[in-house]
Amino acid sequence: MTSRPPTAQPGRFAGLTPLLAPRSIAILGASNDPARIGGRPIAYMKAQGFKGAIYPVNPNRTEVQGLRAYPSVSDLPETPDVAIVAVPAGLAVSAAEDLGKRGTKAALVFTAGFAEVDAEGQAAQDRMVAAARAHGMRILGPNCLGVFDGRTGYYATFSSSFDSGWPVPGRIGIASQSGAYGTHLYTLARNRGIGASLCIMTGNEADVTVGECIGWLAENPDVDVIAAYIEGIREAPGLIAAFETARAAKKPIVMMKVGRSALGGQAAKSHTASIAGDDAVTAAVMAEFGVHRARTSEEMLDIAQTAMRRIYPVANTLGMITVSGGAGVLVSDVAEQVGLAMPPMPDDAQARLKALVSFCAPRNPVDATAQVGNDLALLAPFFESVVRDGGYSSILGFFTMVASSRRWPAMLEKLNEVRLRYPDRLFVLSVIAPEAGVRALEAEGWVCHEDPSRAVTAIAAMGRFGAAFAAPPPAAPPAVPAVSLPAATPSEAAAKRLLAAAGIACVPEAACASPEAAVAAADGFGYPVVLKILSPDIMHKSEIGGVLLDVADADAVRTGFATLLDRARTAAPRARIEGVLVAKQLRGGTECILGIHQDPVFGPVAMFGLGGVFVEVLQDVVFRRCPFGEDVATEMIRAIRGFPLLDGARGRPKADVAALATMLARLSAFAVAAGPRLRAVDLNPVFAMAEGQGAFAADAVIEVG
């Protein structure tokens, strides 16, 4: 193993370089036994040629694995960049203090028994971090499996995964909260010949977070693709900054974020002692930055492997040449499922291919049939036509077991002649061949997947990466006045006054303390009107019968006023009653719901969806971190499955999407301006009127903490 000094890496996350790419390392609890936790790192680094200084620290030995050992940190001949702490939990806190005093810049704490165990462990962990921070030292862990970089021979880990082989050189970096799963991913990659030779495992994240590690990988010029495994997000700003850094550097992130289910979320919390957060919100944040959420380890590695070609089409289209019509049908189904366009070949190109093989299917997928294997002179024209005439940014060739046949070298020569003329295209093969043959194809520039379905999923991800990398900066969020929240949750009328100050339009209404005032208001609006009980203590008015629709005249207003007061006193006798809200009853329009949720990890998050069954049953809603501008708001509105109902489906009038976007963007800015005491906002329903006629909130709830 040839080692080299770490590449200079300026940037926000460069402070982690002494931890992740050190020039010298001390091992506290160093063992002469290469199979023990304190012995494995030394054995690995010696075997793989780490060129930096290795300093075993063990008060009971003068030599460890052939290296001079030192009785304490203070006895070391120089201050190491990083130290491994592999001593019992009772000694780890004092070890951190000793290292900090010596000036060590970082420590990896293998030791377990801290916050992942109990409150006492949490207190000890807090003391250790405080001791480190007092001296400006960073800590990875505790309860972590460490770091390894196969390119430099740096193995600050006790993983047993290297018993079966060393990393394949490559430019994929792994960041994982789970040590066991991080090395599981590495081992899967190695066994597939995928170059994932750098892996960081963060454990309890008492200090250094997985987000910071992703950011360091994004700034590292020796890393092109980032794979991440996350159970819970402890610190959002660092993760957001890492996502921003990776997108700016055009480095794709493929992430497994587990804890989707309620049970999974609890498991993640107990395992990592971190906040799992709302999975839908986390998914929205990942989508915001173009991070691909992998469902399985297999999918993660498929995408990481494909991304190593560093071809990310902005407007991705797929052309397929196949020797099997059945495979073409399968690929077409998967492409539609993942949203990957497969436009047909031009008519004149189809005619030319038909003239070559009358029984081919030239539309796309292009089924060239087995005839192109029997008559090699046909293969290049078919392949050239798919690439040139089809103009597809991604090309999938399904040749299955033909790649193991005696004809394959001659066929490959024809395919390569075409491929080399189009270096901007992503070329993928679905083949079954010996491992050496597959590795040779990949070395030539092909991406190889046995399963064509998995190939399509990976190709689609390349297009989403490309779109994220090419996206223009989002528009600035709207400016709203300063928000002064009341001491307690306000009534609907008071909530709407706060929202109106931020430019959020509400249905015309009046708060009335008497029946006659209600009649006067209704006469002014015109009948019919809506009557609602007005109380800061009754948030869900419909549940107590506190909303009356289609109130048709003055007598009905008087009767309704009395009815609402009686119902409120019966259902909530202690509630403060401010009167009745009289509102203009809108006709037409499409009911929507807009909301704000204070996420424990990411702060205020906006929600948009259609009202009624769409939100209650279908949960057809989208989320986005606040604040954002009208461009993002428009994307959100168009992203719901029910958007055609706002866009004139089945002869309906088109809704005023622009007004909805304005309201949603202003609500996002209001949420940030209101600060952390704002717990939630619920605008339901919001009536999106016909195009050009505006959008109006008919009900509003603001919850204050």
pLDDT at 10 over 70: no
pLDDT score recorded for residue 261? 56
Task: Compute the distance between CA of residue 9 and CA of residue 13 in angstroms, rounded to an integer.
Answer: 9
- pLDDT, one tens digit per residue, over 570-581 is 999 999 999 999
pLDDT score recorded for residue 273? 31
Among the listed residues 482, 535, 486, 685, the one whose alpha carbon sits nearest the alpha carbon of residue 595? 685
Burial class (CB in 10 A: 0-12, 13-18, 19+), 633: buried
Among the listed residues 196, 154, 175, 145, the one whose alpha carbon sits nearest the alpha carbon of residue 238? 175
- pLDDT, one tens digit per residue, over 372-413 is 989 999 999 999 999 999 999 999 999 999 999 999 999 999
Q: Which fold has domain 318-470?
A: Rossmann fold (3.40.50)
- pLDDT, one tens digit per residue, over 97-151 is 999 999 999 999 999 999 999 999 999 999 999 999 999 999 999 999 999 999 9
- pLDDT, one tens digit per residue, over 535-553 is 999 988 888 999 999 999 9
- pLDDT, one tens digit per residue, over 554-572 is 999 999 999 999 999 999 9
pLDDT score recorded for residue 558? 97
pLDDT at 341 over 50: yes
Q: What percent of the chain has pLDDT over 90?
A: 90
* Residue whose tokens read 């497969």: 342
Beta-carbon count within 10 A of 355 CB = 10
Among the listed residues 474, 498, 465, the one whose alpha carbon sits nearest the alpha carbon of residue 633? 474
- pLDDT, one tens digit per residue, over 475-531 is 999 999 999 999 999 999 999 999 999 999 999 999 999 999 999 999 999 999 999
Beta-carbon count within 10 A of 184 CB = 16
pLDDT score recorded for residue 513? 96
Q: Which helix (H) or strand (E) holds 447?
A: strand 447-449
pLDDT at 301 over 50: yes
pLDDT score recorded for residue 288? 97
**Chain CA centroid to CA 181, Å:** 18
pLDDT at 615 over 60: yes
Q: What is the SS3 assignment for 339?
A: coil
pLDDT at 6 over 60: no
pLDDT score recorded for residue 612? 74
- pLDDT, one tens digit per residue, over 11-66 is 899 999 999 999 999 999 999 999 999 999 999 999 999 999 999 999 999 999 99
Cβ atoms 6, 17 nearer than 8 A: yes
Burial class (CB in 10 A: 0-12, 13-18, 19+), 88: exposed
* Residue whose tokens read 């040629």: 49
- pLDDT, one tens digit per residue, over 235-282 is 999 999 999 999 999 999 999 999 865 544 454 443 333 333 578 899
Q: Does 318-470 match 14-307 at the fold level? A: yes
**CATH code at 14-307:** 3.40.50.720
Helix axes 297-307, 452-470, angle to 10 degrees: 60
Q: What percent of the chain has pLDDT over 70?
A: 96
Strand partners, 548: 531
User: How many Cα atoms occupy the beta-carbon half-sphere of 332 within 13 Å?
Assistant: 15
Q: What is the pTM of this model?
A: 0.91
Task: Compute the distance between CA of residue 322 and CA of residue 87 in angstroms, rounded to an integer.
Answer: 59
- pLDDT, one tens digit per residue, over 457-473 is 999 999 999 999 999 99
Task: Compute the distance between CA of residue 298 and CA of residue 304 in angstroms, rounded to an integer.
Answer: 10
* Residue ranges covered by each domain of the chain: 14-307, 318-470, 508-584, 590-704
pLDDT score recorded for residue 522? 97
Task: Compute the distance between CA of residue 625 and CA of residue 585 in angstroms, rounded to an integer.
Answer: 32
pLDDT at 227 over 90: yes
Q: Which two tokens mark 686?
A: 């919001």
Q: Which amino acid is residue 616, in one-letter code?
A: E
Class of domain 508-584: alpha beta
pLDDT score recorded for residue 276? 36
Task: Compute the distance between CA of residue 199 and CA of residue 227 in angstroms, rounded to an integer.
Answer: 9
Burial class (CB in 10 A: 0-12, 13-18, 19+), 488: exposed
pLDDT score recorded for residue 8? 42
- Which CA distances in Å does 105 have to 84, 218, 586? 12, 21, 65
Higher-pLDDT residue of 500 and 4 is 500
- Burial readout 320-334 (b: 16 or more C-beta within 10 A, e: otherwise): bbbbbeebbebbbeb
What DSSP state is assigned to residue 473? Answer: P
- pLDDT, one tens digit per residue, over 357-366 is 999 999 999 9
User: How many Cα atoms occupy the beta-carbon half-sphere of 337 within 13 Å?
Assistant: 11
* Rg of the chain on CA atoms, in Å: 31
Helix axes 279-288, 236-248, angle to 10 degrees: 30
Instruction: Give the mean pLDDT of the chain.
Output: 94
Task: Compute the distance between CA of residue 511 and CA of residue 517 in angstroms, rounded to an integer.
Answer: 9
Confidence of residue 616 (pLDDT cuts 50, 70, 90): confident
pLDDT score recorded for residue 270? 34
Listed in sequence order, the residues at least 6 apart from 695 whose beta carbon sits closer than 8 Å to its beta carbon are 505, 592, 655, 656, 659, 660, 662, 663, 686, 687, 688, 689
DSSP 256-305: EE---SHHHHHHHHHHHSS----HHHHHHHHHHTT-EE-SSHHHHHHHHH
- pLDDT, one tens digit per residue, over 146-167 is 999 999 999 999 999 999 999 9
What homologous superfamily does CATH list for 590-704? ATP-grasp fold, B domain (3.30.470.20)
Cβ atoms 199, 148 nearer than 8 A: yes
Task: Compute the distance between CA of residue 420 and CA of residue 510 in angstroms, rounded to an integer.
Answer: 72
Listed in sequence order, the residues at least 6 apart from 90 whose beta carbon sits closer than 8 Å to its beta carbon are none
Cβ atoms 656, 663 nearer than 8 A: no
Among the listed residues 661, 576, 670, 688, the one whose alpha carbon sits nearest the alpha carbon of residue 626? 670
User: How many Cα atoms occupy the beta-carbon half-sphere of 28 within 13 Å?
Assistant: 29
